[in-house]
Amino acid sequence: MIGRFPILDISPVTHFGGELIGAKAIPNEEIPVQATIIREGHDGFEAHVVLVDPRGKEISRVAMREIWPKSNRFEGRIRPTTQGLWSFYIEVIAENPGEFKKTLSSSTEKFPINVECERALVGSWYEFFPRSEGALKNADGSITSGTFKTAAQRIPAVAEMGFDVLYIPPIHPIGYSHRKGKNNSLEAKPSDPGVPWGIGNVNGGHDAINPELGTMKDFEDFLKVARKNKIDVALDLALQCSPDHPWVTSNPEWFTKRPDGTIAYAENPPKKYQDIYPINFDNDYLGLFKEILRIVTFWIDKGVSIFRVDNPHTKPVYFWQELIAAVNSKYPDVVFLSEAFTNPPMMHSLGKAGFQQSYTYFTWRVTKHELEEYGREVAHGTSAFFRPNFWVNTPDILPFHLQSGNPAVFALRAVLAATMSPSWGMYAGYELYEHIPIAEGKEEYRDSEKYEIKVRDWSGAAKKGLTLAPFITQLNKIRRENLALQRLRNIHFHPTDSDQIIAYSKREGNNLILVVVNLDGFHAHETTVHWDMWALGFENDHFQVTDLIDNSLYNWSRDTFVRLDPARPYGKVAHIARVQVK
């Protein structure tokens, strides 16, 4: 039933599972509230968006403005200040004209806003395999595995690059049955360490430590080093088992059996994963739920605050909704990242079910049109229920555009990820320009770290200048010092005369950042950027900027000529400019 004044198409409002779910937000994040509001005739009205705190107290009442003349589309911006379940509603007030004057009004119902911790939106993520950090290649060619103790020595360098989240793949015992060898070979040698996602052997399962990495105390000490360096550790939550996992014996009902009584291994035709048993949630849901909640709580109590969930789209969505709600009710600062490179409806449903963040399609968005379209989608179209984390690469994904090994391409992709999204991620080796695919036409690394231990010479690369680490450090410093880059909903794309140069702005209060990127890492391009002055909030056509990459000063205008040459030092693949706002 509409009110006296129809208030329609309200956002951010999301229905999921027959109920309203809270729009995603963090403390002090500005949220644009929009609605179409109409009234019969030609008389005017006033519209306000009212913000209500978790206790039900009205905190602010903001006048809504018409976005475009005669569009009947209105917007007001609200800013919840603390974690908790906030709400908003829209109220319209008008005077009844004529002899019997009186005040008329309409109000909507209250719509929820789920205000979560800062890390739910903002973070610079780095991924490494603990077994590779500090690993040694011996004289006979054998490899001595790294441990939590040696990996902890790498944490300060990760922090120095400006990363504040460290994601580590599963740290549990690895199965022996059907263990995969180098490059996913079906025949593993005795020296092959196995795939960390093949979880479980006689040493334990999801609540145990791989003895090759050390002891539980070693892991606890690893977490202490991370905390000392102001880094949150994200632990992989992979709900699958090797054939040697203790659950296979203790709870065979948790797996799918074939007609012959054997347990079905994982398949994604034509691929077969004989080393992995997927979990069946239909046989003993309550038992499984209780056990998985116990495991998650176990690691939280150890000091883990983030879970990167492997393939959540292969488990029931309602399971995640129940699990995340149960965890966050007791631990509101725990964050779940969805690793689900699947169809958008499933990815969005997982966000609505409670995942604070998600991997995205950014990795494959390359052209100017693709980037602009996707940037608008995640910032404006789906931000109420889907928070993106832009990864430039992963152990599973070596995008085609990186396979040339061109340092400028690595640099420009890092700029895009780090400035378009409040959270971005990078897998170790990116800074060393690792780029060799397993075969032509494949987006997989040759000698993938999933199947073997990598020995990298970090210090040697730094001494030779063969590393992107200084540039990455500068990028993360820019992100850390500019609040506009820590927000999602504020991106605005600006026209350029070249399809090879993209331009966008992000503003938070007086912090205004302009980004211009050459999308071609091989050739110089020049163009005119046509800044939308209304979007920038400027009245004058001329303004001064500081390029935060090299501290150069520029006088720019509504129509700004730029030239970006990737053949020069990698800083010139882009401008990241801070505007002098008065």
User: Which residues are annotated as catalytic?
Assistant: 310, 339
Two tokens, residue 457:
């010479």
Name the DSSP class of 381: I
CA 87 vs CA 5, 55, 79, 318: distances in Å: 21, 10, 11, 24
Rounded Cα gap, residues 289 and 52, in angstroms: 34
- Mode of pairing for the β-strands spanning 123-127 and 423-427: parallel
End-to-end CA distance of the chain: 47
CB 531 within 8 A of CB 494: yes
Q: Give the integer Cα–Cα distance in Å for 519 and 503.
A: 11
Beta pairing, strands 58-63 & 46-52: antiparallel
Strand partners, 564: 525
| Cβ-proximal residues to 448 (8 Å cutoff; 6+ apart), any chain | 183, 184, 395, 438
- 3 state SS for 8-77: EEEECCEEECCEEECEEECCCCCEEEEEEECCCCCCCCEEEEEEECCCCCEEEEEECEECCCCCCEEEEE
H-type alpha helices, 182-281: 216-228, 246-250
DSSP state of 367: S
**Distance between CA atoms of residues 429 and 436, nearest Å:** 11
Nearest to 125 by CA among 438, 458, 387, 436: 387
Q: In what order do the strands lie in the sheet with 511-518?
A: 491-494, 501-508, 511-518, 574-579, 542-547, 553-557
CA distance 424 to 383: 16
C-alpha to C-alpha distance for 167 and 226, rounded to whole angstroms: 11
CA distances from 580 to 109, 476, 482, 513 (A): 41, 21, 13, 10
Would you list the DSSP string of 141-175?
S-EEPP-HHHHHTTHHHHHHTT--EEEE---S-B-
Yes or no: say if 125 and 234 are a contact pair by the CB < 8 Å rule.
Answer: yes
Distance of CA 249 to the CA centre of its chain: 37
345: alpha, beta or left? (left if phi > 0; alpha if psi -120 to 50): alpha
